[in-house]
Amino acid sequence: MIKKGQITFFVVMAILLIVGIIIIFFIKSGSFSVDKAVNSQVSEIDEAIQGCTESALLSGARLVGLQGGFAIVPGLNLTLNSSNMGYGFYEGDILLPSLTRIENEIASYIDLMLPFCLESSDFSNFELSEKFSSSVVSIDDNIVIAYSDFFVFIVKEDETFLIDKTYEVEIDLQLKKIHEVASEIVSKEKADPDFIDLDYLTSSEFDIDIIPYSDDIIIYSIVDRNSELNGVPYVFRFGNKIR
């Protein structure tokens, strides 16, 4: 006598067998290709994704610098020259994002921009669908690295290709060291809100500017002239509200 559990097992195995046969049929017929090395016909799309990843990392790193460590500025922010930035210190509380938070902010920005970048490229002979990106960013000594898992279906005439690949890009940037300086500034501010340690600021390897914003708000701008993104020195700035 065949038990119910055995019947279920045989049904599952039959389904898996049928699915396997279908996949083999499509691959052999050439109507569907899965190739992480990327078929030569879609190599230019592969190169475009690589370029888009690098561009998104550059612009994401630049953006978090100008916005106090955030790609999306939080509700508590201030405006300078028509752009918003977050606070590093606000009425006794340290709000400067951690290095891990900044990594996640850049990664989210890359995932947001990658599909749009690819859509703006001219691939009139192809139909691109199901675009998906999942990125991880690592801020290390003197370097920022992005690993982006990108998934996209590409249809050309009667053939379908799949790009499912991890793209790795990196830029030379002392963001880790800059963040350490910013963290020290807000820590000193918390210890004594009425005192600015000019000796510490002037001894830094970076150019640090203090910009008065109001009676109780100042903006710190940390400029690294040794780290240039597209020929422009890197800037990390944030607001400090004393009281």
Q: What is the pLDDT of residues 59-99, one digit of tens each?
A: 999 999 999 999 999 999 998 888 899 999 999 999 999 99
The amino acid present at 206, given as its one-letter code, is: F
| Structural domain includes residue 111 | no
Averaged pLDDT of the chain: 84
Residue identified by tokens 């389904």 is 15
* Token pair of 67 as six digits: 């916005």
In whole angstroms, what is the distance from residue 170 CA to residue 121 CA? 22
| Structural domain includes residue 84 | yes
| Structural domain includes residue 202 | yes
In whole angstroms, what is the distance from residue 52 CA to residue 156 CA? 21
* Token pair of 20 as six digits: 């396997």
| Structural domain includes residue 161 | no
192: nearest Cα among 124, 242, 143: 242
| Structural domain includes residue 48 | no
* Token pair of 21 as six digits: 């046969």
| Structural domain includes residue 18 | no
Number of domains observed in the structure of the chain: 1
| Structural domain includes residue 187 | yes
| Structural domain includes residue 156 | no
Query: What is residue 23's predicted lDDT score, i.e. its pLDDT?
Result: 45
Print the domain residue range for 83. Answer: 77-96+175-241
In whole angstroms, what is the distance from residue 82 CA to residue 79 CA? 6
